[in-house]
Every structure is written in C-alpha cells, then in structure tokens.
Structure 1
Amino acid sequence: MLDIINFIALSGVFNVLFFWYASTKMKSKADPIKTLIVSFVFSIPLTLLLIGVYTTMLVYAIKTGASEDAMWEYMEQEELQ
C-alpha cells in the first residue's frame, strides 16, 4: 500500500514540476500560480484512477482469499497474454 501512495505522490509532484517548468519555456509567459493550479487539477484524475484500480484489486483479493503479492502477479500475467 505504501508503494502505491509513494507512486501517487511522486507522479503528482512530477506533474506539478513539469507544468511549472513548461510554463517558463513558453513564448507567452504564463502565470506560474495559474499553471500550478492547472497541474493540480490534472493530477486529481490520475490519483483517483490509481486509487480505484488498487482498491478494486484489493477487494478482489479479499474475495478470492489471495494475498496482495498474488494479485500483482496475476495482473502481470494478464498483461502478458
């Protein structure tokens, strides 16, 4: 669980920093504060999607009696097929 929280936090930080950096490189200079707000708005759907996928996986694991590691392995096997 801690891994997914760290991933969400890192992706949010990266998104904020990317938008802020991109705003400094544009020909028409954007307001950094507005850009920061836009980056937070774009981070929200990503965060909700990751939380939804992880929660769904854990609920399915509880119903089938599998561990979290077994569910990750199952998802990787499904990706390979």
Structure 2
Amino acid sequence: MQTPMALENVDSCENWLPRRVMSVWRIAGILHALEGWEEHECGYTMCNIDKVWEACLKHGFQPLRVPIQSKS
C-alpha cells in the first residue's frame, strides 16, 4: 500500500517495493499502535476486515495502483 504523504523519510520497507510503498503486515503494526488496539492478531478487531480497512484509509494509507498491461 502507498504510505500517507505526511510520513517523512520513507523509502520502502523491502528493496523490491517502489518508493513510499509498504507491505500490509508492516502497516498493520502501525495501525495497531495508532488505533490503540491491545488485542493480538487473532482478536475480534483483527478479524473484522472492514474495521481494519477503515482505519487504514483513515490514517492515509491507500491501495497501490498497478497499471494493467494489455496483451497485443
């Protein structure tokens, strides 16, 4: 996912990702802290994908847009 522009000094988490892109598992850790969630990954909040998705968007993370290549 793309990181919010408010995050500073962000390159990428892994060397194969484009600039300002993070793996979802890293974003999950950030959301966990930002939202103050105290339950583990198997808790109710983590199973509620809509709640997690809304928190992700609320904090400025966006899905990565990948161009589709047409077959010619």
What is the TM-score with the length of structure 1 in the denominator?
Answer: 0.30
Query: Which is greater in Rg?
Result: 1
Task: Say which structure, 1 or 2, has more relative contact order (CA 8 Å, 6+ apart).
Answer: 2
What is the TM-score with the length of structure 2 in the denominator?
Answer: 0.32
Structure whose residues are more often helix by fraction: 1
